[in-house]
Structure 1
């Protein structure tokens, strides 16, 4: 295969994109039903007894894990057999850049929803400008403040402070970006021991972040009354932090795969784009968290 490396490699037909689409469909349908059922009838915990959504969601997650395993296996085989040349490497870089750009737009929409509610809708409901009549008709007792700790039906919640677990998680992600950069440099200069050490530290930091976020959600639900039912503040809080947590999970999984490939000696200083792409993604996730920490927790 190596003698054909000067030609652009076109991979064979693969079933994995179709399988991936099926998995994403199952996750979307299952998650939507699970969340919708778990917030009905004033429930204060995320559970969906007697519904099918949780089972579809779990099936979709397992399906996606299996799909990624086999898809990545095929891609790794292509790389190790010399099919990936400089031209294909350039295409991979362009693809990763556009993928991260699409993620920027995704989070931009989520932050846009927060800004729209906070700086436009809340003053409008509070009667700012020429909206005094609207204020009296829709919500006479409404006070224009953020975050909203009282819902229209009278439920109250507490605010998640910035200087507890969120600040710790911010420090964790900042340190993880530093350790990953050290590991990346070690790969380039050929220091295998330092590469393995700091790659492992980065993975542990990612897992620690996710563990603290799970505890933060438990604390929010059971001690603060901050749930998906807690009006627009609760919805946006879990929407933004939850999707970021999913991205941290994806990034951690990518780093774990790279870690095992490092142990097998798959990467060289000339050929390690998949590692570089994982690093790009991790740094992007860290930057998103910094914006999220400031806008959601701090301000």
Structure 2
């Protein structure tokens, strides 16, 4: 039964939080054992079991929320709570990437010059790494991982930049179509956004294969390799999650779940997608170009 808009909504009891906790606990324990050289059922099998439980929890919990929303259970207070929750989630994601950008900045602007002899009269370079030239990109003193080449910024990275920028436009068109009540245009523009995201992931996978097979640029290529793959890899993971969410939203739109005035589920995913676009622009400039 639908609740009065001015009433305070009290959610019912749910078993999904405890299931999610079990999945997270199993994943962390299994991954920790695997990374520390463990074997047997408490390593890889436990980690994948935990991941399967998490996926099961997400399908079940989000399905419950969708059914409650479609049934008219939620009121204005719940809508405000959802919006605040999404804002804080995106803020946490901003801090997540800020940490990696900070590591890149610190390594490039402080650590590498310091090892190369800047500051302290060049004593660090003289006693520890004589002959090391502080240039960027670098795999550090000792040529860790061997010589490597970088990904040219004006090839696949530029293509991916254009793809993501275009996807930001298409999802905005889809939002306008939803607010105007044009259901067919909504599905077309939203589908185009998913397709652009999939194309981005394809070209990023191609770029990674090129890096590993021809450029000798890997996670083991010193500080540049680690920061490059951590930043671009986590961004690719976020694009993957965003594309999955957009696909779910597409099916919901096809079922007519959203209205002109009540469609925060769509807006939340659009916010997330625009965030992913902005992060990529930072990556393109500070990782590929500069």
CA apart distance, 1:247:
0.8
Task: Give the aligned partner of residue 194 of structure 1.
Answer: 185
Q: Which runs of 5 or more structure 2 residues have no equivalent in the other structure? A: none
The number of residues matched between the two structures is 288
> Aligned ranges for residues 107-126 of structure 1 at < 5 Å?
107-126=97-116
1:23 aligns with 2:49: no
1:76 aligns with 2:80: no
Task: Give the aligned partner of residue 101 of structure 1.
Answer: 91
Instruction: Answer yes or no: is the 8 Å Cα contact 1:162–1:297 preserved in 2.
Output: yes
SS at match of 2:135: coil
Task: Give the aligned partner of residue 78 of structure 2.
Answer: 88
**TM-score normalized with structure 2 length:** 0.91
CA apart distance, 1:77:
1.2
> Aligned ranges for residues 163-178 of structure 1 at < 5 Å?
163-178=154-169
State the Cα RMSD in Å: 2.3
1:133 aligns with 2:123: yes
Instruction: Answer yes or no: is the 8 Å Cα contact 2:129–2:141 preserved in 1.
Output: no
Q: Which runs of 5 or more structure 1 residues have no equivalent in the other structure? A: 38-48
1:292 aligns with 2:283: yes
- The CA deviation string for residues 214-234 of structure 1, in whole angstroms up to 9 with x for no partner, is 121111111111111110110
Task: Give the aligned partner of residue 237 of structure 1.
Answer: 228
CA apart distance, 1:134:
0.9
1:148 to 121, 138, 147: 138
Distance 1:127 1:135 in 2: 5
Distance 1:195 1:36 in 2: 48
> Aligned ranges for residues 221-236 of structure 1 at < 5 Å?
221-236=212-227
CA apart distance, 1:92:
1.0
Instruction: Answer yes or no: is the 8 Å Cα contact 2:117–2:125 preserved in 1.
Output: yes
Task: Give the aligned partner of residue 65 of structure 1.
Answer: 55
Task: Give the aligned partner of residue 44 of structure 1.
Answer: none
Distance 1:140 1:90 in 2: 60
1:10 aligns with 2:44: no
Instruction: Answer yes or no: is the 8 Å Cα contact 1:169–1:209 preserved in 2.
Output: yes
Task: Give the aligned partner of residue 267 of structure 2.
Answer: 276
| Change in CA separation of 1:96 and 1:291 when aligned onto 2, cut-off 3 Å | same
**TM-score normalized with structure 1 length:** 0.89
- The CA deviation string for residues 179-215 of structure 1, in whole angstroms up to 9 with x for no partner, is 0000010000000110000111101111111111112
